Amino acid sequence: MSTTDATQTADNAIGFIGLGNMGGPMAKRLVEAGYSVTVFDLVPEAVERVVADGAKPAASARECVEGADVVLTSLPRPDHVQALMSGNGSGDSGLLSSLEPGTVWVDLTTNRKELVAELAASAPEGVTVVESPVTGAVDGARTGNLTLFIGGDDADLDRVTPILDHLGKVIRCGPLGTGNVVKLVTNQLWFVAAAALGEGFAVGMANGVELPTLWDAILNSVGDSFVARHDAPSIFAGHYDPSFSLDLCLKDLGLLAELGENVSAELPMTTAAHGAFAAAAERYGADVGELHVAKRIEDDAGLSMRMDGDWVPHWEK
Ligand code: NAD
């Protein structure tokens, strides 16, 4: 662990665990920002990619956090975080217990707020926890244009913000838990809009309008949105965006359903979006891209939403 003031951020040694679609490019950006970044993933190729960019490989999660001032995790689901940080229930102690006093653990995973709180409460003396789920997709992770929803104690947020600034815009949400609530609300709105995209195209096409005309009209009307611009091209290109799986969509929708239980009202749009993504996963499997929610409508309606265009996949931008 470095002996300098942790706020002198480039002096912070970083341990980064989980180098998938989001974690890989985020770790690369921190290397490029001048940090010493040690990385670990269960998939050796994921480690090799980031090591080629200048990170140091670790042979295990435990080795990855040795000497780290700040530990970052970007894992798929809460159960992955729980297994890694608090142990697998079969005798292995979790990583959290091995962190040295003075270490901050920043969880970039979209996670269950109760789990984050539980883990924070069980952290060793002097180890603190910040949540920082992100939005902005793989292109945002590559280009440093994510939005990060941070929650935790002010002093810890002050300490890690200069590091997270290299990844995008940091929004302070409040105490631990609020970051994941805010992140999930932004996804709630995305799920509803994304599920509606294919429906809009289907209604237009089934009633005699060409897809290019619909697209032009959407871009120049109240139908325009970030979701339309960022995600409809994945439908037109026919890859349906494999960089965010239906499995992760359903994880977030499940977490949203839990948060919705605290609202004393029906949430029909959110419930309908959940149903639409679940139906797509049932039809095509959970490992496929998120916009299969639109493919299901194409297939059921006998329509093709392929359209010629310069649809550079966002993760290659
Ligand atoms: P991913 O599946 O592409 O990557 C997760 C990585 O974690 C994998 O490489 C996996 O091997 C690794 N991993 C799992 N358990 C591990 C362990 N115990 N030790 C080491 N490595 C382990 O997932 P992703 O798309 O990068 O998403 C990460 C998080 O970010 C998720 O919570 C997701 O909901 C969220 N998120 C994703 C996107 C996106 O567009 N993909 C956008 C915003 C937020």
Say how many residues make up the chain.
317
Instruction: Give mean pLDDT, residues 21-26.
Output: 97
**Shared-domain flag, residues 91 and 231:** no
pTM: 0.94
Domain end point (choices 175, 209, 238) = 175
Determine the average pLDDT of the residues in 84-90: 75
Q: Does one domain contain both 156 and 206? A: no
Indicate if 171 and 186 belong to the same structural domain.
no
pLDDT for the residue 87:
77
Residue 1: is its pLDDT beyond 60? no
User: Could you read off the pLDDT of 252-284 as tens digits, one per residue?
Assistant: 999 999 999 999 999 999 999 999 999 999 999
Query: pLDDT tens-digit profile of 105-133?
Result: 999 999 999 999 999 999 999 999 999 99
Nearest 5°: CA angle at 189, between 218 and 114? 165
Strand partners, 14: 37, 70
Catalytic-labelled residue, pool 113, 183, 251, 295: 183
Query: In sequence order, what are the residues at sequence separation of 6 or more whose Cβ sits closer than 8 angstroms to the Cβ of residue 12?
Result: 2, 6, 35, 69, 70, 163
| CATH number of 301's domain | 1.10.1040.10
pLDDT of residue 90: 53
Q: How many helices (H) and strands (E) does the chain have?
A: 13, 9
| More confidently predicted of 11 and 282 | 282
pLDDT of residue 2: 45
Strands 134-135 and 146-151: antiparallel
Same domain, 232 and 298: yes
Q: Would the CB of 110 count as within 6 Å of ligand 1?
A: yes
Give the other-Cβ count within 10 Å of 235's Cβ.
Answer: 27
Cα–Cα distance between 292 and 279 in angstroms, integer? 10
For residue 128, list its beta bridge partners: 104
Q: In terms of DSSP bridges, do strands 56-57 and 104-107 run parallel, antiparallel, or are they unpaired?
A: unpaired
Candidates 21, 47, 60, 234: which one to mutate for ligand 1, based on the most atoms within 8 Å of Cβ?
A: 21
Per-residue pLDDT for 157 more than 80? yes
56 is catalytic: no
